[in-house]
Structure 1
């Protein structure tokens, strides 16, 4: 048997004569990186070079590679195209063998009659300009409505963000972006699928193997437990087509998300023995049961929306994931490992693969399995009105079948969602539809894509991966997509929409918030990497603005910064810090408020918060909490702190006495309402572990200006109950005459801090911080900080990009803050900045 992945591609513009080498030794590639590698274009990410490179997407391009046949006795010669972007005509030794229309479908072609056994075989692929094809298709169908990119994008099955988005550039690239494999064989393992059913103390496995065999053959399966012991071994005669091996495991080691247990994986090794030889394939598979719980409440409207894994309720704290590069083939295995490790290091147990990119590479899901990260997987439809004519439905059905078969052995997958915001688009353009119609056939309505989301997709999921729940869209539920009591919501009334104050996140939550966010600038280092003219490195420059794609970002970013943060100056570094501190405060509020609503059995009022977004596809100011070069913003750390397994939460309540003259209970927000404000703080604990945590609650109140302790509470013993919120203090009164910060922490028997939090007067811009002294001691792999008075937003910065395990934190008198920085030397320079540093 021969299995060879083609590499060392060459390319040329269609209609020209000269072939040029693509990037060396790569199995996958795309036209923009190849042109840049050969010096034919400027760096697409630098300055405003994007504007001058649009011609590339309007041209046809060709790729070629060669291979030899080493197994000349094989009866089958097969070419497998795991992903061609997008419209391609494929020629083998001059013979046209295939035409493709989707970058999401895997194509296979038996090519025995075209293969040369002696001498090299040439594979040539002509990629037609998808932009031009889409525009022609749109003329024949209809001009759709949508957010982001031009309307023709919805006519074709290509990554939608290639058309540009409100965080990404417009690069209509093409190429063999997934591997092309040549396989010669007589007998072959085509596919395998471990269909797992988990009961209380056992797991049943229906292991299905698809084979193409010639002559007598034996199928053998060996299963090893996570600790390396063989727990199953079987042999049986192999037949072409489907083969099934059923067995049970007692007291299995189940796969859990890292936040609730260990992500155990079993090794399934399949061997096919035939007269022609032996083929062996091993897959690492986790045994788990996943449920999406949507149950009515007794005391609140609507239904829950949260996940159970192996009967354990899981609060989902995580991030949305967009493609991590405008050109996917520029990403390495290490890139994926580092990105997903950032998720784990950030205490984020769920990642949502957004529907405007692509179904991710194998390494992405493999790492999520290994690390224990839950995956919410959108199908690749985003922010638009998609067609549903018969040929389109067939093409999309092939896509979904391809991806379900490819992904169904990954245990990290816990949800498939039909689309991203397509129902919202339908609402905003005024479409009306009968929600009581559950026929699954809506081709002739004004919302034909419902046929996909409510008819085709759920049937395919049920057929190919029924262990994973299906959700028609995101957001979806209730009478409309804004219904916060049913399903999931995208809460964009902070930043977009009505631009609410972020201190009011508690009013804006839902059963599951699958999108919300706030913008901030990336680090100066990131700008220096993408802007060549250093005189442009100031907040309002053309090139700084060019690297921000959000509509109206100048007004919105200024609104939230000026409303909340005292800006120390409009120099670049001060503005970067101000936007990052504001973003960190904003997102911290959201996680803190919503996680409080994880209240235990029958009262899981909020099942999760998934921030928009963890990453960027190029150097840009966006909602990402980690920038394109994997440099965390301060918000990454605020999310990390609020998502800790054990934490403390606080919220400041404000109230006023009824008006004695007008007899009005409350005139909140009315101008010239000078009634005294009464302030009180709630304090609670959160615990996502499966064991109760005991400790002592300590609460101190400080005058922000003077640093003097002005109150607090007596120490009290507390229990943070397992996997829920525990309320500790209700309406602790604090002064309204002076600015008071409340510092709470839970300590263990030895006095070590288990969890802590500070609640500051709002807005922060009114506070004054005179006479602050932050002492720092740099040691190997860590720094130790102390402070004489309460300090807000301490930022550490280094010359090198070492990972800092906490940043943007608050400091209080009497505590030593230890920050781990692996690789730090005691002689390294560590800069310290903090809010309103004098």
Structure 2
């Protein structure tokens, strides 16, 4: 099988929206107004490149290009072909956004109405030797949705006053299989995408082709049993042929197992060959922090009776995975993942598309984000259901980096018309394609039916969105409750499935069962104190928190970049649009509670600093609190990455700069961590060890004054078993002045960090500003090793200048010695600041 790439050299023109496919020749006749582009391309990309529009992620320019969705867009590509004799040709568009008509050499080839699975067409009868042309008409698909259709869904779709704000949202999205977020969300503008947004190529095939290779693992003792299934399509329509099939499993170039099927009969159409193989002493795949991620190569070679060959290869991680939902007593049930029979506390964030114009997201951007996730000690990402199934390279990188993937199906915050047969057919094709594509990835931990559909539309939390679900009109729940389960059972029964997020219990979002989204008793509470008080997260009683969050600003450099000016005022339409819809002055309130009065008067540098520290405080504290709950088995915060720049949920901003909160999350998710809390009059310490090796936390524990003069310490050693979480100390809290000092654990070496018990808000603590003393600096390649200390307590010590560091915006306890690594290729002198 040969792939002929058709990504380069396309022409683009627009037309009135009512011009349908019969207008192909009229568009081709245009003399002026043509743009050129390569694909993947959203139509805005060449429009930006040619100065027709400004980038919609900057300032409020998204409003200036809304006209784009009110036009039809026509792509044309000419190319040469030769040597077609005896070949079967297929035209593949990996992704089209969204309503599309495809033409080959002027002939209509077909239509497509979903971005979530490819358009594949047997094109040999339309192609010819020499010059060929492909044309595609694309529109958003929203134009076909009527009010009459929306009334079938009771208009139950997140709308302006619910989720999007003044410039966002669109009821019609529920009828269109497009990325739902593109009509606008609380964290992103309305930029309704349109274009050829995936690769385009021809597949030139001989007499047979290997369509798919699937692998399944059975672990028993020190042996891995693998079943490898090769799906082979024999292309002659009425004749049989024969072949040999050889499967080889290798690791780092060394063959571990091989098997051959000789003289196999191929009948017309699909054929399936299953081979059972064993690997002694397999190298097991582990999530990040628990071990390594060895990947085997499984290669399938087919030799046909005419001596032609076909070859297909996949990488594969050997591991077992299960989701335990067994009873815990009363109404409580577990929601706990096990990998290779080891319990895993799932920690990480929710993943959204990386740009309002997602077609321009580079492979390097995705790789950088996953590198940063690993660096922040993530072992899971949840792919949110209002965006996109990510490209293949994303899942391959998750395999390599040990990031488990909770994969939502692409339905979010809406009722959906699954009572209509055409819609069910579209969704079935989508789910079948995606589950087959992803099922052999080691990273795949769970498929999930939707984001918030069960909760929002049958929940006491949202009484005005109450809708009546019936078997005749399930309003989207047939997809999650029936169709998705049938597809999973047929394609990948070993991968756990969950109906929605959140889901479980008598009503979705029940603490006793399944996963929860902690919003109404968190940052979306009507009570401002609940939005900004981290201590409330000690009250979490959920089995698995898959969404919750806190809002904070980006650094000043990013703020200036997305506002499009160096002189930014925190007012006006553009500033409002780049502040999350749910911000609602919460950042000011958080600064006021934890740091200083009158935050509205702060300059931009101070706003970014104090606002970032507020977000860091809430996220860091809350993640520790949930990890320290022995009956909580996962914590994923909303959200990890950004689709444009804003004062918002993320810890990595749109420009891939770390926010202050990134470092707090990294510390809170450290594989080995002590968490210290006050419970009534008791001091309680939990020991967390998210590794497969036993460890111990050794140091001194006791009361230390913030000026370092009072030190009532005793030596302690806390032994931490592998892959464990437990209470390692519970004792009466001594009577001390906790405004002027605290209980501190000063680590004496090893992987654990020094920690202290914070009683009260930061601004209520009584301590003087203490100087940061640099004990040593040493340059190694591009990195500067810096060792610092302070005689007294320092809050929020940071390296000035926006450097990427192993740790930053950290506290220094009195007398603590701390070493950090600073990426400093230019070998600049480093200077420290602190928050007070």
Task: Give runs of aligned pairs for residues 568-579 of structure 1, distance below 5 A.
Answer: 570-579=602-611
- Per-residue CA distance 1:460-485 (angstroms, 9 max, x = gap): 11110111000000000001123111
CA distance in 2, matches of 1:12, 1:321: 34
Classify 1:311/1:727 alpha carbon distance in 2 versus 1 (closer, same or farther; 3 Å): same
Once the 2 structures are TM-superposed, how far is the Cα of residue 532 of structure 1 from its aligned partner?
A: 3.0
Counterpart mapping for 1:243-262 below 5 A = 243-262=273-292
Q: Output aligned runs, 1:160-559, within 5 Å.
A: 160-186=180-206, 187-213=208-234, 215-226=241-252, 228-238=254-264, 239=266, 240-241=269-270, 242-274=272-304, 275=306, 277-298=308-329, 301-389=331-419, 390-426=421-457, 427=459, 428-429=462-463, 442-445=470-473, 447-492=474-519, 493-499=521-527, 500=530, 501-535=533-567, 537-540=568-571, 542-551=573-582, 553-559=583-589
1:829–1:32 Cα change, 3 Å: farther
Q: Match for residue 153 of structure 1?
A: 173
How far has the Cα of 1:680 moved from its partner? 4.6
Offset of 1:140 from its aligned partner?
7.3
String of CA shifts for 1:42-84, please: whole Å, max 9, x gaps: 1222211111111111111111223333332234111122211
Matched residue SS, 1:74: coil
Which consecutive residues of structure 2, in runs of 5 or more, have no partner in the other structure? 17-26, 164-168
Residue 534 of structure 1 aligns to a residue whose secondary structure is coil
Contact 2:708 2:793 in 1 (8 A): no
Cα offset for 1:95? 0.5
Structure 2 match to 1:670 = none
Secondary structure of the residue that 1:165 maps to in structure 2? coil
Matched with 1:676 is none
Question: How far is the alpha carbon of 1:113 from its aligned partner?
Answer: 1.5
Q: Distance in 1 between matches of 2:149 and 2:107?
A: 31
Separation in structure 2 between the aligned mates of residue 767 and residue 318 of structure 1, nearest angstrom? 31
For residue 68 of structure 1, give the secondary structure of its aligned residue in structure 2.
Answer: strand
Q: Please give the secondary structure, in 2, of the residue aligned with 1:485.
A: coil
Following superposition, the deviation at residue 734 of structure 1 comes to 4.1
- For residue 144 of structure 1, the aligned residue among 129, 147, 155 is 155
Give the drift of 1:722: 2.1
Q: Do the aligned partners of 1:5 and 1:27 also contact (CA within 8 Å) in 2?
A: no
SS at match of 1:272: strand
Alpha-carbon distance in 1 for matches of 2:705, 2:526: 34
Taking the aligned partners of 1:822 and 1:277, their CA distance within structure 2 comes to 52
* Corresponding residue for residue 126 of structure 1: 137
Q: Distance in 1 between matches of 2:49 and 2:147?
A: 32
- Tell me the CA shift for residue 512 of structure 1: 0.3
Structure 2 Cα separation of the partners of residues 408 and 70 of structure 1: 37
For 1:137 and 1:173, the matched residues in 2 are separated by 24
Across the aligned residues of Structure 1 and Structure 2, the Cα RMSD in angstroms comes to 2.3
In 1, distance between residues paired with 2:36 and 2:490?
Answer: 40
Change (3 A) 1:68 1:714: same
Cα distance in structure 2, aligned partners of 1:633 and 1:384: 31
Question: Counterpart of 2:691?
Answer: 689
- TM-score where L is the length of structure 1: 0.89
Mapped contact 1:22–1:29 kept (Cα < 8 A)? no
- Preserved CA contact (<8 Å) 1:739 1:761: no
Q: Which residues of 2 match residues 28-67 of structure 1 at below 5 A?
A: 28-67=40-79
* 2:110 partner SS: strand
Structure 1's unaligned 5+ residue stretches are 435-440, 599-604, 656-678
Candidates 550, 559, 565, aligned match of 2:595: 565
Q: Write out per-residue CA displacement over residues 713-764 of structure 1, whole angstroms, 9 at most, x where no aligned residue.
A: 42123211222223233232242474323321443xxx45633212223211
Distance 2:751 2:288 in 1: 22
By how many angstroms is 1:379 displaced? Answer: 0.2
Instruction: Give per-residue Cα distances to partners, 1:23-48, cap 9 Å, x unaligned.
Output: 4xx44111111211122111222211
Structure 2 CA distance for partners of 1:779 and 1:134, relative to 1, 3 Å: farther
Report the 3-state secondary structure (helix = DSSP H, G, I; strand = E; otherwise coil) of the residue aligned with 1:733.
coil
Picking from 764, 767, 773, the partner of 2:765 is 767
Per-residue Cα deviation, 1:662-681 (whole angstroms, up to 9, x for no partner): xxxxxxxxxxxxxxxxx653
Within the alignment, does 1:794 sit opposite 2:797 as a pair? Answer: yes
Q: Distance in 2 between matches of 1:374 and 1:34?
A: 36
C-alpha distance after superposition, 1:541-562 (max 9, x if no partner): 54332212324x2332222222
How far 1:813 moved relative to its partner? 2.6
SS at match of 1:173: coil
Tell me if structure 1 keeps the 8 A contact 2:288–2:378.
no
Asked if 1:632 corresponds to 2:650, the answer is no
- Taking a change above 3 Å as real, the CA distance of residues 235 and 614 of structure 1, as seen in their structure-2 partners, is same
For residues 6 and 370 of structure 1, what CA distance do their matches in structure 2 show?
Answer: 29
Distance 1:771 1:451, change over 3 A: closer
1:611 aligned to which of 637, 648, 653: 637
Whether contact under 8 Å (2:97, 2:197) holds in the other structure is: yes
SS of the equivalent of 2:406 reads: strand
Secondary structure of the corresponding residue to residue 113 of structure 1: coil
Name the counterpart of 2:110: 98
Q: In 1, are the aligned partners of 2:154 and 2:467 still within 8 Å (CA)? A: no
Q: Aligned residue pairs: how many?
A: 785
Q: Name the CA shift for 1:287/1:753 in 2 (closer, same or farther; >3 Å).
A: closer
Secondary structure of the 1:722 match is: coil
Distance in 1 (alpha carbons) for counterparts of 2:322 and 2:674: 28
What is the alpha-carbon distance in structure 1 between the residues aligned to residue 82 and residue 542 of structure 2? 59
